[in-house]
A and B are shown apart, each in its own frame.
Chain A
Amino acid sequence: MKTVVRALIGLAALIVVGAGAFMVGKSLRSMVERRRPTLLDMRQITDSRPLSGAARADSLQGGADVNPSETFRDVLLMMRSEYVDRIDDDTKLVSGAVRTMLYSLDDPATRYWNKEQYQRLKDDTQGVFTGIGARVAIQKQKIDNIDQRRVTVVAVAPGGPAAAAGLRAGDRITELDGNWVIAYDPRLDLNRLAVRTMPEVEYRKALRQATKKLTDGVSWPRALDKLMAPGDADMKLTVVRANEPKALSIVVKKAEFTRPALEVRSLPGGRVYVRITRFTADAPGKLAAALKDNPAPGGLILDLRDNPGGPDLPGEASAIRSMASTLGVLGVHGKIGIIGKGSSRRVVTAAKAAAKSSKLVVIVNQGTANVAEMAAGALRAQSDATLLGSTTCGDSVYQKLVPLKVGAMTVSAGTLMGADGKPLPARGLDPDIAAGSTVIGGQDDPMIARATALLGGRTGGRS
């Protein structure tokens, strides 16, 4: 199990070859029965060496019949009765346990959200932003034969601090306030060096440097937390951007701000421009109301740029439910769905059209992710929409959020399917017409003009 957790722990420990059969003398059970164990029965040690923390359960034989949850409970009992200091913060124990357990799956979509993080996530789905005002995701990539985690900006909230500072979707954040965001275990770099022939002193030096790089770095969950945490501090980001030869240094001033998830604008010629930056609970209703007032006889431009999709939350704030209802409003009546655990299928049926749509252009970019991509794909397949812009993100994880007693967890609970019944392509959806712009929304956005031209190019609406 190659987890970052494991990588973080300790220096290369020397291991002595060999094994001796040693009977484990005391079982915990008998100790617990005696209430307080006699410490003389136990070994008291003072060793300062860090141990490898990786759970290597594959060699288990003897205790295989013991229910894992019993082991957890036993550890908890011993901790409570014998630990040198008072343990008065159970919340930390819960979050530590759940966070690390989920982290060990090495799946960025499956993670723990503590109470504050969960609240921020809920705010986020309501259109309230804190932190730098951008959605950031972890992407895994194999570079130089090393699995690397890349902290990547998925979408920049319009009008937010990140947008003001010039951060863009696709940017990769490599440093936070001067600290390296740990992308991999830098000790693996030693593989590339000719270690077999390397002089001892040089090898030790390289190992020390790599270890220092690791211990000074910021892990990705911490990086995400720092980027999202509320406050008004300046954050200095080092950013690697495609087509930029050098890394950029971008200072973002954090701020809390609210932005409506839906923006509707009437354009000349009976056209309507709708931008959806989040699939919030009220988005479909608002869209329906707007289209009732102005049914867009000249065609509809749906802007899904920098719409990150999001997890399926219980209750109102589910991105996928909001998206399904939105599709219903736009007249999609086919099926799109999710491939769940054990390839069971949950099929989203968007019901009868509230407004029978006119001609439709959907603007997408690299920040169009997850259920937003699903929406774009469905609209193209079932409403004959033209996709304008750049290739979408390619995030097909159906992420479900489950509240826990303390905080919440998200879990990869399936794969989002395209209109063709297959999983959304991992490389994203290609647009029908490729174009790009760094200005998003507003009067000067060339993409809106482009979309308007596309609508104008064909006469009459679809009926």
Chain B
Amino acid sequence: MRGISVKRRRAMVFMVGIGLILGIAMPGQDWFESVPKSDRHGSLLGFLGPTAAGAQEADGPFEGYAQALAVLKREYSKAVIDKKRERELTYSAIQGMLSALNDPFTSFLDPEEWLSMQQSTQGSFEGIGAVLEPIGQDVRVVRPIPGSPAFKAGLKAKDVIFSVAGEDRGSGKVGKPVPTLGKSINDVVKLIKGPKGTRVQIAVLREGSAKPLVFTLTRQRIEPPVVEYWMEDNAHKIGRIVLSEFNERADTQYDKAWRDLRKQGMKALIFDLRYNPGGLFEMAIRIGSRFVSEGPLVIVQEKNGQRHTIYSSGTAPKIGDMPLVVLINESSASASEIVAGAIKDHKIGKLIGEHTFGKGLVQTLFPLADGSALRLTTSKYLTPSGHDINNKNDDEHRPLFGTGGIRPDIAVEQSPEWVDQDFQDKVHDTQLKKALEVLRGEQALAARR
């Protein structure tokens, strides 16, 4: 080794906050003949620019992110780090930072996800009214929403989207069909959606037809029902209300269902919360108040550990002393667990089905300036009796399922022959059968008295 040589041009890289200078101490021979221009200047200083001032930015995670991004901009050779990519990288960094919290319910929503989230809790949007899912490299219809353009035109569950031709705003003409094989569900949705009054032509593959079937639809404002209801057992007047989500329309739709079934002479109710993943916290309180007419509904524990109890608002229509079964399963979560937990604690009805998911956390959505949003866990909740709904975690922060959640009064395992979420299947649904059995039994008991 011939000691340190600093002849010729050298690479000097300044790191904000470390003051580390690389590239001066080079062993042996000079081996840089030329150095790319960008290496001679500390581009990090330039990058930070106006935001570099102030104490907040000296925050460790920010510094780490900014430093790594600056290195990529200066050194990365496989792609140019332009503004668009910088944004993508930043979103990934935010997701990574949030994932360090080990909280699966805290997340970052990019502008597109934030928009679709708002639509799903708001409960209405403009489109054709079909629920889609990805399947292999295709996208297919899960179900058309009753009353929607998709429903009226005759799109059916399991129709595979083949191509889409949309009308541009104001043109009055449907464009060229775009094949959808291999496209992501987001891209297909983008093709289909559009302002109300415009047309879209959709070709689908359907089992039993050799050629794609073509439908032309006019987009409308869609308000997908969040409540489905019917008289499950007309002889015993047992009604059934299926609530699929606690969105902004949940309470009005529940009330309508309740009144309709009462008009039909309902004497007992099956309230189906299976596969209900939750929704708006406020809506859990409103729906819960229909069942628990007075007293505590849920206990909220804030950031500082302080607890406060939220009481029933006692809003009509009240269930009163009508026999009630609540169906729950392991996909019933959060808002569903608040309602089911309160019903259980107050002994207002019987819980039948499976041990629930176990999510006792409230997230608050914070919209951000660039159109994205942060979904952050801000409080925990407990059932009125103080039972922690949230699952405990193991040492690696993985939830220990079964440590939280709500236990059913009568545990009934679902038949493997029941297709998930097929609420109309009355033949294989062992949990529904049990609910009917229990309610009929109660009626028989009441009749004898």
* Interface residues in chain A, defined as those with a beta carbon under 8 Å from any beta carbon in chain B: 1, 5, 12, 14-20, 22, 24-29, 31, 37, 39, 42-64, 66-79, 82-85, 87, 89-105, 107, 110, 112, 190-191, 193, 195-197, 200-201, 203-204, 281, 284-285, 314-316, 321, 324-325, 328, 335, 339-342, 344-351, 398, 400, 402-406, 409, 411-415
Provide the residues of chain A in CB contact with B127, threshold 8 Å: 16-19
Residue of A nearest to B13 (CB): A402
Q: Is the CB of A17 within 8 A of B29?
A: no
**B116 interface hit (Cβ, 8 Å):** yes
Q: Is the CB of A82 within 8 A of B113?
A: no
The minimal Cβ–Cβ distance linking A51 to chain B, given in whole angstroms, is: 6
Provide the residues of chain B in CB contact with A91, threshold 8 Å: 60
Provide the residues of chain A in CB contact with B99, threshold 8 Å: 96, 100
22 contacts between A and B (CB under 8 A): A22-B119, A37-B366, A43-B280, A55-B87, A57-B110, A62-B371, A94-B97, A97-B94, A97-B97, A98-B64, A100-B99, A101-B65, A104-B89, A314-B23, A328-B29, A341-B75, A344-B37, A400-B75, A404-B64, A405-B60, A411-B75, A413-B77
The minimal Cβ–Cβ distance linking A276 to chain B, given in whole angstroms, is: 15
**B400 interface hit (Cβ, 8 Å):** no
> How distant is the Cα of A42 from the Cα of B282 in the complex, in angstroms?
11
Q: Is the CB of B91 within 8 A of A57?
A: yes
Provide the residues of chain B in CB contact with A17, threshold 8 Å: 127-132, 150, 189, 192-193
Residue of A nearest to B120 (CB): A16
Q: Is the CB of A60 within 8 A of B126?
A: no
Q: Is the CB of B71 within 8 A of A411?
A: yes
Once A405-B18, A406-B60 are accepted as A-B contacts, the answer to whether A346 and B379 lie under 8 Å apart by CB is no
Provide the residues of chain B in CB contact with A82, threshold 8 Å: 303, 364, 366, 376, 378
6 A-B pairs closest in CB distance: A18-B127, A100-B96, A63-B370, A46-B334, A96-B100, A55-B91
Q: Is the CB of A15 within 8 A of B27?
A: no
The minimal Cβ–Cβ distance linking A387 to chain B, given in whole angstroms, is: 24
Q: Is the CB of B277 within 8 A of A43?
A: no
Residue of A nearest to B160 (CB): A196
Among B51-59, B230-238, B436-444, the one that faces the other chain is B51-59
Q: Is the CB of B71 within 8 A of A402?
A: yes
Among B78-86, B258-266, B318-326, B340-348, the one that faces the other chain is B78-86
Residue of A nearest to B142 (CB): A14
Once A46-B359, A195-B136 are accepted as A-B contacts, the answer to whether A56 and B101 lie under 8 Å apart by CB is no
**B186 interface hit (Cβ, 8 Å):** yes
**B403 interface hit (Cβ, 8 Å):** no
Provide the residues of chain B in CB contact with A60, threshold 8 Å: 87, 110-111, 370-371
Q: Is the CB of A28 within 8 A of B86?
A: no
Once A18-B126, A411-B75 are accepted as A-B contacts, the answer to whether A44 and B281 lie under 8 Å apart by CB is yes
> How distant is the Cα of A198 from the Cα of B213 in the complex, in angstroms?
20
Once A12-B134, A19-B193, A20-B126 are accepted as A-B contacts, the answer to whether A48 and B105 lie under 8 Å apart by CB is yes
**B215 interface hit (Cβ, 8 Å):** no
**A-B contact number at CB 8 A:** 449
Partner of A84, one of B104, B121, B375, B377: B377
Which chain B residues in 133-162 approach chain A with CB under 8 Å?
Answer: 133-138, 142, 150, 158, 160
**B112 interface hit (Cβ, 8 Å):** yes
> How distant is the Cα of A344 from the Cα of B77 in the complex, in angstroms?
10
Flag B278-310 by CB within 8 Å of A: 1 or 0 each: 111110100000000000000000110000000
Interface size classification for chain B: 35 or more
> How distant is the Cα of A398 from the Cα of B284 in the complex, in angstroms?
56
The minimal Cβ–Cβ distance linking B150 to chain A, given in whole angstroms, is: 8
> How distant is the Cα of A37 from the Cα of B365 in the complex, in angstroms?
11
Q: Is the CB of B111 within 8 A of A48?
A: no
Q: Is the CB of B56 within 8 A of A341?
A: no
Once A68-B86, A346-B34 are accepted as A-B contacts, the answer to whether A90 and B60 lie under 8 Å apart by CB is yes
Residue of B nearest to A400 (CB): B75
Q: Is the CB of B138 within 8 A of A196?
A: yes
Partner of B56, one of A12, A20, A73: A73
Once A17-B127, A84-B379, A344-B34 are accepted as A-B contacts, the answer to whether A195 and B111 lie under 8 Å apart by CB is no
Once A83-B303, A413-B75 are accepted as A-B contacts, the answer to whether A101 and B138 lie under 8 Å apart by CB is no
Provide the residues of chain B in CB contact with A20, threshold 8 Å: 119, 122, 124-126, 221
The minimal Cβ–Cβ distance linking A340 to chain B, given in whole angstroms, is: 5
The minimal Cβ–Cβ distance linking B332 to chain A, given in whole angstroms, is: 9
